[in-house]
Structure 1
């Protein structure tokens, strides 16, 4: 779960002793996020969801992988159902499609901003006439164990705030923590307090290994979506990993989802 901070905790949030000297700096990292709780359920065409069938207008080119095979919906976010976040859309439907026939779930770790086997689609204006929407997605074929989610899930959103976790690529330079591993117990406590594995929009990411933005994608500072492994709704990334989608602040403001960084890792 996200370690959220209530309004009255922004001054008095808990810190292990080693991190107390960095309280003011860490306080400045507190930012809003939206926690996502997912439950197995059938969903409507326009609903936010994991899995299931997407909203998709007839006549619009359906997303395909490099071989010309249809991609499958991982997640659909209807922003009219989401609490307001600064710079994020206030309306429209944002969709995340992955290759359902790829053991890497459509991710190319060397070229993970190139939407060859995954696709991000944003529908700013929504068609509500069901007769103008696709209803049969039987043409999308899924190979066994090649897609991270087996079920369809409805999404429930809750707004919160979050402090920067220790796994973020900016954390060490922010606090100058060259000696942090000499305080291993306190570092572990910080991870326990402010770890970041969950389903969410905004805030800070979590990883089972390391932040992929550290060397090549430092401008992708905004977490567009995180989807964690979740037994309750039959999601698993490799060996119980987590997937992240990142975007630059400028592209987010401009609703340009063509250069999103997609990554997942597992232990």
Structure 2
């Protein structure tokens, strides 16, 4: 934290130092390393196709069409970077998605396999939904993880406590740019890239209350009702919603989420701790 201390002094933000430290989030940046020729099975990969165990069933959307493979994370590698100690320590997590229209409640599937022995590359028998939509395949890249920190971005910061928001965002940019670059394709955990600070509420409403968010603060009452009228429990569920994966648009891979946007996979903290990946939420943000 020595570098953070120096940056706080540099931008003369000592008055909000406590706020900064209280709102730090540990994250794992995902960086592209090289194109993947599929020689080594079970690596962490974004794009291309997955390495899966025998009898793996490729997930489909409601119309029976094949979802598109987005990423696989080798947890034995990635969990070394997990300062939050929430990810399983071994196995693979696979991320698949459907058509990204509309930008909310996107069809998807997150699959966890506890053992990652005897994996083999699986190519679908026909184009997946996004391959068909974009008329292209997506180039596979190996990725590795790097642990770092984040402070609130422009959507999540408490503007009421800032006397100098320009200085705060200069600090936020310094921290972010120090850890990202042209090869950064996304992250696990952290603050979602978004216009407003309601991504976790949106996810909680769908996962817990089975309600499609309509961007009204009053809809929090629906979540409270679904939790037996327990307001504190509802606030805790929103607070504990975990961004399991954020993936950026990337020309190298061929991913393009609307106008250079990002996609977010969310999961309840309790479900992640219990290795339950059946209830997740996928949304897209593009400025």
Task: State the number of aligned residues.
Answer: 241
| Post-superposition offset of 1:77 | 0.4
Kindly provide the CA deviation profile for residues 159-187 of structure 1, in whole angstroms up to 9, marking residues without a partner as x: 2233333323xx32xxxx3375x745335
Distance 1:265 1:78 in 2: 26
- The alignment status of 1:137 with 2:124, answered yes or no, reads yes
CA distance in 2, matches of 1:150, 1:29: 36
Query: CA 1:251–1:179 in 2, change beyond 3 Å: closer, same or farther?
Result: same
Please give the TM-score of this superposition, normalised by the length of structure 2.
Answer: 0.71
Take 1:219 and 1:163, find their aligned partners in 2: how far apart are those partners?
15
Provide TM-score, normalisation by structure 1.
0.76
3-state SS of paired residue (1:26): helix
Q: Are residues 73 and 213 of structure 1, via their aligned partners in 2, closer, same or farther at CA, if it must alter by over 3 Å?
A: same
Matching residue of 1:192:
173
With 88-97 and 41-50 compared, the bigger mean Cα shift is at 41-50
CA contact (8 A) 1:164 1:194 kept: no
Q: Displacement of 1:29 after TM fit?
A: 2.7
The gaps in structure 2 that reach 5 residues or longer are 205-237
Deviation, structure 1 residue 118 = 0.8
Alignment of 1:76-155 (within 5 A): 76-82=72-78, 83-85=80-82, 86-99=85-98, 102-104=99-101, 109=104, 111=105, 117-128=107-118, 133=120, 135-141=122-128, 142-145=131-134, 150-155=138-143
Q: For the residues of structure 1 that align with 2:10 and 2:189, how far apart are their CA atoms? A: 21
Deviations 1:187-211 (A, max 9, x none): 5434533558853443413425334
Over 3 Å counting, the alpha-carbon distance change for 1:166 and 1:18 in structure 2 is: farther
- Residue 65 of structure 1 is aligned with which of 61, 64, 67? 61
Are positions 1:256 and 2:276 aligned together?
yes
8 A contact 1:237–1:264 mirrored in 2: yes
Judging by fraction of residues, say which structure has more helix.
Answer: 2
| Helix, strand or coil at the partner of 1:178 | helix
CA RMSD of aligned residues (A): 3.0
Partner of 2:246: 226
Q: Which residue in 2 is equivalent to 1:4? A: none
C-alpha distance in 1 between matches for 2:13 and 2:95: 37
**Residue 192 of structure 1: SS of its match in structure 2?**
helix
Cα distance between partner residues in 1 of 2:14 and 2:135 = 45
Distance 2:251 2:161 in 1: 37
Residue deviations 1:95-115, cap 9 Å, x none? Answer: 10012xx252xx661x45xxx
Q: Match for residue 41 of structure 1?
A: 36
